Amino acid sequence: MAAGKNLHIVFFPWLAFGHMIPYLELCKLIAQKGHRVSFVSTPRNIDRLPKLPPHLSPFLRFVGIPLPRVENLPPSAEATSDVPFDQVQYLKKAYDGLKQPLAEFLRTSDADWVLCDFVSYWLGQEIGPSLGIKTALFSIFIPECLVFFGARSGDKRTKPEDFTVPPEWVPFPTTVAFSYFEVMKIFDGVSGNITGVSDLDRFKINVRYSDVVVVRACPEFNQEWIEVLGDICAKTVFPIGQLPTSEYDSGDENPAWQPIKQWLDQQPKGLVVYVAFGSEAKPNQHELTEIALGLEKSKLPFFWVLRTRRGPSDPDPIELPDGFEERTKGRGVVCTTWAPQLKILGHESVGGFLTHAGWSSVVEAIQSERSLILLTFLADQGINARVLEEKKMGYSVPRSEVDGSFTSDSVAESLNLVMVKDEGKIYRDRVKEMKDLFVNNERDDGLIDELLGYLKMHERSNNR
């Protein structure tokens, strides 16, 4: 490829909005540089993604491939947020069914590279080599998480307890590991599911067959982990920044924002707790009750975006305690529909964020310099929380190591510690200090140029 010629890069994320949104952010950054980008997903997911600025449309196109129907998967389910947690394995089976139609699309495209998620282990293993297209594993998980799960052969960890301590290949002291209750919630990712291939095996196969690993990180924040990741993967690793969420302002004010802004405008500056646990995490009924009573006991104003069920097939909707909304009327708002998280976090009345520690939410909070109170539920969130705790960037609500239970008192005390008390000042200050490492357009631009330089240099000339 000539040095000045532009690439065509295909992106194929896993069917979770916590994956699709960072993928889309990287797509936008690459498209802005004049490269052609194809974002492949299912039609319903594409319809639910944020709208693009018009100037990117010549460079970024969406490719919708219908999701195959799978037994036990509801007909309209196309993302993890559409189904209860135990049905995600059927979504993975359907995702594996995209293998052939994706191969057909790639066969007729002029793609130079495919950047794929850990779930699609078959892309780098089979499709890429058969078509002469190079593949990169693009992980939305931070390096600490990838290092923790490891890609080494000879990983002897088989029991949940093995994942509650740092792995032997981390050569420096760290507290980054899962709590026992966090491992138990995701242990099927290690032990397997109905597809016959565990999440851990998908990741390891993907690393093995990818030509390069692209990771959401910046060297100033976690360089030592990036280096260990390169060692255990035996691959070139490219950090490409934290991919902070960007919003396209079309000039049409979102109707949901106006009443929210009106309420926030009336609250004291820096004292509102924003509460949200992402598109996947759903507390159980006992946890929900303790969170609600904790918010009530804290006496702080709050805005809570609450998902009472995961998709229409969720058999266990959760309910607020009797009288809760009446008792907190005026001081708190519970929103059960979509809410504009970036705008809420950016409002001056918001001081802290009670969050599940999903990394996109963490980055959005740091963008707006909001203190972090952490309450993990699943997936990589436990590792993210340990990283934030270790760097004094977030404070976790105290809970039982064994079953993850917590009390309304511990919720209230944690909120007041981080939001208002003197001993929590370190958390309020630390987020401000770290902002430049998370949101630095000039640095991130350079990191993406390094990646694109590599992709151009190693593009196969015989794949057209």
Amino acid at 342: L
The pLDDT of residue 36 is 97
Write out pLDDT tens, residues 275-294: 999 877 789 999 999 999 99
Cβ atoms 448, 29 nearer than 8 A: yes
Please provide the size of the chain in residues.
464
Q: Is the pLDDT of residue 152 over 80?
A: no
Higher per-residue confidence, 282 vs 332: 332
- pLDDT, tens only, 375-421: 999 889 999 999 999 999 999 999 999 999 999 999 999 999 999 99
Residue 188: band (very low, low, confident or very high) from pLDDT cuts 50, 70, 90: low
Buried b (16+ CB within 10 A) or exposed e, 68-90: bebeebbeebbbbbbbbbebbbb
In order of start, what are the domains of the chain with their CATH numbers?
Answer: 8-244+440-457 (3.40.50.2000), 257-438 (3.40.50.2000)
Provide mean pLDDT across the span 86-95.
93
What does the pLDDT read at residue 225? 96
Write down the pTM of the prediction. 0.92
